[in-house]
Amino acid sequence: MRALLVVNPAATTTSARTRDVLIHALASEMKLEAVTTEYRGHARDLGRQAAESKDIDLVVALGGDGTVNEVVNGLLHQGPDPERLPRLAVVPGGSTNVFARALGLPNDAVEATGALLDALREERERTIGLGLAAGTPGTADEAVPSRWFTFCAGLGFDAGVIGRVEQQRERGKRSTHALYLRQAVRTFLDEPHRRHGTITLERPGADPVTDLVLSIICNTSPWTFLGNRPVYAAPKASFDTGLDVLGLSRMSTTAVARYATQLLTSSPERGPHGKHAASLHDLTDFTLHSKVPLPLQMDGDHLGLRTSVTFTGVRRALRVIV
């Protein structure tokens, strides 16, 4: 078996020594080429080269959710073709590693490498669905390139939080849960539309859902983790179905306190609910329109401002080692 290992040297929770140990372990079981990323988008370029190669069977991403997202977008740059494309494996090295943990992998890089080698020996894999987002035809965002996401996307509040966190990280702050919580509070205090949302969700054959302040799109569950605690924004979301959406139409102080508590106490059986919460399950195609430009995020990566984004849930898009 020939494999490409894509290594993010800035991965939050892996040291150079740990990376060397992992490379040695993987190289003992396969013909391995290890490449260290050197710029933003490099992992995507490497994934694309692997997809175009005729002799790479497996791409291993060592890094966080952003690294995985880039690799996936490279692999699927010409669309999904699970039987032809190399399989994907993940060794978690980021601060949260939602995708890897949602697949059931250990959150420790060394343990995950052992699990990966066991899975390869036992030929364990699954074909998962992914989300695809693109600029909506006929709008100002029409020319925005399409992009795949593995576990979540968001238009509005949560993307604004991620944008603020990225700004703080560029100033040298470490990515911690405390940093996210501080920026969430600041985003809430600065949110001008928290009582009257600007987002409308449109889908074929159904009435639109209007006046949303927040919209979270989930391709799996949990939505994220606070330390070891899973957080379920859309408990029914699954790699085997379409996309799920949680929308909130009110973010007053009282409403935020209520829904934040529901998120912190959420479970695989119950997520946020109430008068101002809309939960939609297993959607294949829908569009989010906003009256004003709002921040967009995918897999925890801030992508700038958008006014209209069309989402597609694509079943059986990629084979992954589990």
Binned at pLDDT 50, 70 and 90, residue 263 comes out as very high
Q: How far lies 137's CA from each of 75, 117, 211, 289, 310, in Å? A: 25, 44, 22, 12, 9
State how far the Cα of 296 lies from the Cα of 143, in Å rounded to an integer: 15
User: Residue 239: pLDDT above 90?
Assistant: yes
pTM: 0.93
Distance CA 261, CA 273 (A): 11
The per-residue pLDDT for range 101-139, each reduced to its tens digit, is: 999 999 999 999 999 999 999 999 999 999 999 999 999
The encoded tokens of residue 303 equal 């992508």
pLDDT (average), residues 63-72: 96
Q: What is residue 154's predicted lDDT score, i.e. its pLDDT?
A: 97
Give the side-chain half-sphere CA count within 13 A for 260.
12
CB 260 within 8 A of CB 231: no
C-alpha 128/C-alpha 82 separation (Å) is: 9
Whether the pLDDT of residue 195 is over 70: the answer is: no
Pairing of strands 58-63, 2-7: parallel
Q: What is the mean pLDDT of residues 273-302?
A: 96
Residue 298 has pLDDT above 80, yes or no: yes
- For residue 193, the model assigns a pLDDT of 66
**β 277-283/243-248 pair status:** antiparallel
- Token pair 């928290």: residue: 194
Q: CA-to-CA distance for 286 and 313, rounded, in angstroms?
A: 9
pLDDT, tens digit, for every residue of 71-107?
999 999 999 999 999 999 999 999 899 999 999 999 9
Q: What is the pLDDT of residue 305?
A: 94
Pick the range with the lowest mean pLDDT from 4-8, 92-96, 178-182, 313-317: 178-182
pLDDT of 176 strictly over 80 = no
| pLDDT for 97 | 95
Helical H runs in the chain?
16-27, 42-52, 65-75, 98-102, 109-122, 157-170, 177-190, 253-264
pLDDT of residue 179: 83
Query: What pLDDT does residue 140 have?
Result: 85
DSSP states of 270-316: B---STTEEEEEEESEEEEEEEEEEEEEETTEEEEEEEEEEEEEEEE
Counting Cβ atoms within 10 Å, is residue 64 exposed (0-12), middle (13-18) or buried (19+)? buried
pLDDT confidence of residue 281? 98
pLDDT tens readout for residues 196-234: 789 999 999 999 999 999 999 999 999 999 888 999 999
Q: How far apart are CA 212 and CA 2, in angstroms?
A: 47
Res. 8: pLDDT tops 90 = yes
**Residue ranges of domains in the chain, CATH in brackets:** 2-123 (3.40.50.10330), 131-316 (2.60.200.40)
Where residue 268 falls among pLDDT bands split at 50, 70, 90? Answer: very high
Beta partners for 192? none
Q: Is the pLDDT of residue 189 over 80?
A: no
